[in-house]
């Protein structure tokens, strides 16, 4: 059974909408939406590395929050509600040198009426764990028109 509000996730729409913000600047691309997960990839290049030439830990966190936030936004009724980040943490396991991609997969741990918790695993192209993140989102009612 699908977790998505309309039983589908609009891949094309989110990639188009994100092209001109931080997601697009970092080269983040949402690649797949399963019944209970969202997947993406991000290049490890001059936009996402630290001065040592490996994936910046902050880029991993941006990647994780991007995945969880997009996922959370399509689990709810977006006409009435919105998701905002409440807390994020990440454990960094290994470096990834420039010239590669990392992939990420967000899965819900808890989808409540007011709070969502997502686990995001960032991996190398060969599947080795790079970063394990937990993202907590608050589900808010959209304000009525002023």
Backbone angles phi, psi at 51, to 5 degrees: -60, -20
* Spatial CB neighbours of 44, under 8 Å, sequence gap ≥ 6: 54, 55, 96, 97, 98, 99, 100, 101, 102
* Residues acting as catalytic residues: 65
pLDDT value, residue 113: 96
What SS3 state is found at 57?
A: helix
Residue 146 has pLDDT above 70, yes or no: no
Q: What is the pTM of this model?
A: 0.95
| Position 145 confidence tier, pLDDT thresholds 50, 70, 90 | low
CATH T-level assignment (fold) for domain 11-141: Thiol Ester Dehydrase; Chain A (3.10.129)
Buried b / exposed e over 24-39, threshold 16 CB at 10 Å, is eebebbbeebeeebbb
Residue 106 has pLDDT above 80, yes or no: yes
pLDDT value, residue 1: 85
Strand partners, 85: 137
Delimit the domains of the chain by residue range. Answer: 11-141
Q: Which of 104, 95, 101 is nearest to 53 (CA)?
A: 95
Dist. CA 37–CA 26, nearest whole Å = 21
Dist. CA 83–CA 5, nearest whole Å = 13
The structure tokens listed for 2 are 């699908």
pLDDT value, residue 144: 76
């Amino acid at each position: 059974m699908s977790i998505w509000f309309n039983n589908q996730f609009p891949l094309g729409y989110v990639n188009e909408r994100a092209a001109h913000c931080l997601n697009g600047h970092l080269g983040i691309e949402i690649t797949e939406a399963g019944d209970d997960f969202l997947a993406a990839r991000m290049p490890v290049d001059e936009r996402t590395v630290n001065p040592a030439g490996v994936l910046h830990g902050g880029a991993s966190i941006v990647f994780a929050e991007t995945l969880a936030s997009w996922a959370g936004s399509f689990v709810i009724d977006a006409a009435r509600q919105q998701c905002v980040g409440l807390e994020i943490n990440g454990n960094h396991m290994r470096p990834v040198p420039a010239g590669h991609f990392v992939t990420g997969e967000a899965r819900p741990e808890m989808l409540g009426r007011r709070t969502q918790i997502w686990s995001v695993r960032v991996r190398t192209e060969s599947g080795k764990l790079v970063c394990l993140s937990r993202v907590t989102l608050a589900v808010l009612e959209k304000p009525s028109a002023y």
